[in-house]
Amino acid sequence: MQKIIKIKNLDCAACAAELSEELNGIEGISDAVADFINQRVSLSYESEEALEKAIYSITHFEEVELSEGPAKRERHLKEIVSIAVSAAFFIPALILQLTGMNVWLVFSLFLASAIAAGWQVVWNVLHFRLSTFLDENFLMTLAAVGAFVIMEPLEGAAVMLLYQIGELLQNIAVGSSRGAIEKLLEMKSDTAILLEGELQREVGSDELRAGDVVLLRKGDKIPADCVLLEGETSLDTKSLTGEAFLREVAAGEELLSGCVNEGNAVKARVIRPASESAVAKILDMVENSSAKKAKPEKFITKFARVYTPIVVLLALVIAVVPPLFQNYNFTVWLVPAIEFLVISCPCALIISVPLTYFSGVGTLARYGVLTKGAVYLDELAKVKTAAFDKTGTLTEGKFTVTKVNGSERALTLAAAAERNSSHPLAQAFLGTKTPFRAENTAEICGMGLSATVEGKQILVGSLRLMQERGVAVEPVESLAAVVYVAEEGVLVGSVEIEDRVRPEAKEALSELKRCGIVRTAVFTGDTRARAEGLLRDLPVDEIHADLFPSDKPKKAETLKARGPLLYVGDGINDTPVMAASDISVAMGGLGSDAAIEASDFVLASDSLSALPKALKGAKKTRRIVAQNIAFSIFVKIALMAASVAATATGLFALPIWAAVFGDVGVMLLAVLNSMRMRGKIS
C-alpha cells in the first residue's frame, strides 16, 4: 500500500536523506523517500502497524510535524530577527576593535553576536543524535567555539552570522522553487456550480461525479474533465499546455480541468471525477517526480555518507600529527583542522543537485511537458536517436474520406464495421450515415477487422488482409491510405482516406537536429510509398514501413544499438515499443491513463514544438548539475589545501570566515545557479 504524508519544518536535505534511511529501516516499510523540497514523505507499507511506526519516526525526527496541506508557516521571520540582533552586536564590536577599545568588552559583544545568530544551531547540536553528529550544525558550532577559544572573537561571530545569512538566503531560494510548484496547484478549481434541474448549487470540485452537469461561467476554471453539452466557447489552456492562444471548442468536445472558460456561460457534463482529471494527473506527476532520482542525486547521497567520515579522520590527523613534529604546538594546527571540517560540509551538493532537477521538472511543466521523474530528464539529455510513430504523432491523426472506388456500398459497410473500432482510421467514418449495423466485430492485428453485417461476413482493412484471406483484389495506386472492403470473400470496393502532416512537425524535427539528435526514424504500418509521399518534406533519416505492432519493439531494439533511443507516440497503441525504448513520450495524453502509464514524458500541449523544449530543458538541467558538482568540489578542495598550506608554510593565514564561505558561500552560489533552471528555455 502506498501513502503520501504531508509534513512541515523539514528544511535540510541531509536530514531528509537521514529520515528516508531511518524509515526504510522499519520492518514493513519500503521505498520511503523524504522530500525536503515538496515537504512530504512517500512510502509503501505492509500493515497499519508499520505505518504507525513510520508516523511516529517522522513526528519524533527533530522538528518535523505532520501537515494537512502545504506548509503555511512563516519560514524566515526567526532567521531575520536572529540576523538583525546579531548584527546589532557585531557592528559596534567591530568598530570598537578597530579603535583599540577594551579587549574583553569587544570579546563580550562578539560573543553576544554569535549567540544571537547561532543559538538555534547550538541548540540543534545539544539535541544529540548519533547520525547527525557531524552535520553542518556541529561543524559551525565547532568553528565558532574554536575561534573564541583561540581568542579570535571576530571570526567566531562572523562564522555564525554568515552561516545564518546563508541559511536565510538558501531558504528563500528553496522556498521560491516550492512556490513555483505550489503555483501549479492554482490550476485546480476548489468549487463548481452543479446543476440539478433548474437549481444551481455550489459544491466542492471533489464532490463531482461522472454524469453531473455543471455551469461554467466566463472566467471559471474547469473543475473536472467535461464534455461541452451545447453551443461553443473559448478556453484559455495556458496553465495546462503552456500555449498562450485560446482554443475554440464546440458541443461534444472535451474540456480538460485546469483550463479557464473565456467564452459565454455554458453547460458541460462531467466525464471523470476531479481525482482522475487532467489537473490531478499533472500535479501527481510533478509532485512525485522527486521520488525517482537521477544517478547524480543517488551518487551525492552515497558520496556524503562515505565522504564525511573520511574528512573527519583527515581533520583529526591534521590536528594531531603535525604538532608531534613541531614541539607539540597543537593550538596552531587546531585552526586548519576546524577549517578543514567546516569547508568539507557537503550541503552545497546535497541541496543544489536535487533542487536543480526539481526546478527542471517544474519548468518543463510550464511548457506543457510533464515528466515522471528526474531520472528521465537525465536520460533524455543523453539521447542521440529519435523514433516517431507516424499517425497522430507526425500527422494530425484526423482522417477524412476523400474518394470511394467501386460501389458506394463499400463506404457504408466500412462505416458500419468501423463504428466499433478504436483505430485512428475509424475516425474518418464517424460522419458517414449507414443503414447497416455490424455485429461480432473483431480486430485483426495490424491489418483491419472483420464483422457480420446482415448475416454476411465483412472484411475491412489493408491490401495485405485481402490477400491473406484470398480476396481477389487489384491494388489501388494512391498516396492516401486505402481501406479495402470485401463481402463474403468478394471485393466490394475501397475507400481512400487522407491525413495531414502536423504544421509544426518540420520545424520541431529540425530543432531536434540542432539540439543534438543525430538520426530520426519513423515507424508506420503504412506502405513505404504512402509514408514517403506524406513525409517527404520532413527531415526524416529513415522510414520503417509495413510494420505490424509486434515489429516495432524489434526495430526499437535495432536502433538502440546506436545509443539511447527516444520514441514518440500516442501512448496507447504504442505501449510495447515505448517499453522497449530508453525514453518514451506520449502526445497529448492527458485524458488517457494508458498514455501516462506507458510514457516517461507527456506533451500536454499535443504539439511537437514542445519536444525540443523538453530536450533543451533536460540538457540544461544536466549541465547545471555538472557545474554545481564541479564548482563545489573544486572550491572545497582548493580552500582545504590552502588552509593546510597556510599553516604549514606560515606565509599567510586563512581566516575562518573563508572556511565558512567554503561551506555556506559555495552552497548559496550552487543554489542560485540551480535557480537558473527556472528561467526561459531557449
| Per-residue exposure over 592-604, b if at least 16 CB sit within 10 Å of its own CB, e if not | beebbebbbbbbb
Give CA separation, 599 vs 190, 331, 509, 575, in Å: 29, 61, 20, 8
pLDDT of amino acid 268: 94
Whole-number Å distance between alpha carbons of 590 and 209: 18
pLDDT of amino acid 69: 45
Whole-number Å distance between alpha carbons of 495 and 404: 5
Whole-number Å distance between alpha carbons of 344 and 639: 9
**Residue reference for cell 536565510:** 168
| Per-residue exposure over 442-479, b if at least 16 CB sit within 10 Å of its own CB, e if not | eebebbbbbbebeeeebbbbbbbbbeebebebeebebe
Catalytic residue among 212, 225, 389, 499: 389
Residue 201 C-alpha from the chain's centroid: 37
CA angle 394, 597, 399 (to 5 degrees): 30
Predicted confidence (pLDDT) per residue in 314-325, tens digit: 888 988 888 888
> Residues for the chain: how many in total?
682
pLDDT of amino acid 388: 94
Hey, CA dihedral for 550, 552, 554, 557, is it positive or negative? negative
pLDDT of amino acid 71: 42
Give CA separation, 215 vs 203, 226, 235, 239, 258, in Å: 12, 11, 15, 21, 15
What's the grid cell of residue 520?
Answer: 530520426
Whole-number Å distance between alpha carbons of 381 and 621: 9
Give me the residues paired with residue 520 across strands: 386
pLDDT of amino acid 108: 93
Whole-number Å distance between alpha carbons of 400 and 388: 22
First to last CA, the chain: 42
Of 475, 470, 476, nearest in space to 490 by CA:
470
Residue 86 C-alpha from the chain's centroid: 40
Q: What are phi and psi of 517, to 5 degrees?
A: -70, 120
Q: Confirm if 191 and 225 have CB atoms less than 8 A apart.
A: no
Residues in CB range of 455: below 8 A, 6 or more apart:
none
Whole-number Å distance between alpha carbons of 514 and 510: 6
**Residue reference for cell 485524458:** 591
**Residue reference for cell 515505448:** 578
Give the CATH number of domain 209-272: 2.70.150.10
3-state secondary structure 429-453: HCCCCCCCCEEEEEEECCCEEEEEE
What's the grid cell of residue 370?
Answer: 510533464
If 0-12 CB within 10 Å is exposed, 13-18 middle and 19+ buried, where does residue 574 land? buried
Beta strand segments in 70-196, E = 191-196
Whole-number Å distance between alpha carbons of 476 and 473: 9
3-state secondary structure 280-314: HHHHHHHHHHHHCCCHHHHHHHHHHHHHHHHHHHH
What's the grid cell of residue 241?
Answer: 499546455
pLDDT of amino acid 573: 67
3 state DSSP class of 11: coil
Q: What are phi and psi of 125, to 5 degrees?
A: -70, -40
Q: DSSP letters of 146-162?
A: HHHHTT-HHHHHHHHHH
Q: Taking the domains of the chain in order of start, what are their residue ranges?
A: 2-66, 77-181+309-336+620-678, 209-272, 358-390+502-615, 400-498
Q: Confirm if 330 and 73 have CB atoms less than 8 A apart.
A: no
* Tally: H helices and E strands in the chain: 22, 26
- For the beta carbon of residue 327, count every other beta carbon within 10 angstroms: 8
Whole-number Å distance between alpha carbons of 37 and 487: 63
Predicted confidence (pLDDT) per residue in 138-197, tens digit: 777 877 887 788 788 888 888 888 878 877 776 776 666 555 555 655 666 778 999 988
What kind of architecture, by CATH, is found in domain 400-498? 3-Layer(aba) Sandwich (3.40)
What kind of architecture, by CATH, is found in domain 2-66? 2-Layer Sandwich (3.30)
Give me the residues paired with residue 191 across strands: 204
pLDDT of amino acid 511: 95
Q: Which amino acid is at 243?
A: E
Per DSSP, 60 falls in state T
Q: Confirm if 228 and 266 have CB atoms less than 8 A apart.
A: yes
Catalytic: 389? Answer: yes
Radius of gyration of the chain (CA): 32
Residue 592 zone, left/alpha/beta (φ > 0; ψ -120 to 50; rest): beta
Q: Confirm if 611 and 584 have CB atoms less than 8 A apart.
A: no
| pLDDT per 10-residue tile (average), the chain, 682 residues | 78 72 88 76 88 86 62 63 92 88 89 90 71 65 80 84 78 63 62 88 88 92 90 81 74 84 91 78 65 67 71 85 83 81 75 80 81 85 92 83 90 89 80 89 86 93 91 87 92 90 93 94 86 90 87 90 89 77 81 68 84 93 92 88 83 76 81 82 78
Residue 485 C-alpha from the chain's centroid: 47
What kind of architecture, by CATH, is found in domain 358-390+502-615? 3-Layer(aba) Sandwich (3.40)
pLDDT of amino acid 549: 78
- For the beta carbon of residue 14, count every other beta carbon within 10 angstroms: 21
Residue 184 C-alpha from the chain's centroid: 13
pLDDT of amino acid 572: 60
3-state secondary structure 635-646: HHHHHHHHHHHH
Q: What are phi and psi of 297, to 5 degrees?
A: -65, -45
